[in-house]
Amino acid sequence: MSDARDDTPAGGGLNPNALSVANAARLLSKVGGERVTEEMIRADLAAGAPANTDGTINLVHYAAWLVKERSGGD
């Protein structure tokens, strides 16, 4: 299931507070040094990762959730 929504603001940049799953995967793959797929993010969302009410991802909240999960949930 592809997320075709274009969340690129008129200025051409991405809004880190409201990224589509597709754009989050592309951005994280570029900056993280490892490939991140939409399926990986969707699995995290199913496991409880935070999402905005419109289904977009706040990159800071998602990163904080990932750190918490990787550290054992403390």
Q: Which amino acid is it at 6?
A: D
Going from N- to C-terminal start, the domains of the chain cover: 21-70
Token pair for residue 15? 């809004």
β partners of residue 57: 19
pTM score, whole prediction: 0.79
Q: How far, CA to CA in Å, does 3 sit from each of 19, 20, 37, 41, 42? A: 11, 7, 12, 12, 11
d(CA 9, CA 55): 17
What is the band of 3 on the pLDDT scale with cuts at 50, 70, 90? very low
pLDDT at position 1 is: 43
Give per-residue pLDDT as tens, 11-70: 668 999 999 999 999 999 999 889 999 999 999 999 999 999 999 999 999 999 999 998
1, 66, 71: which is closest to 32 by C-alpha?
66
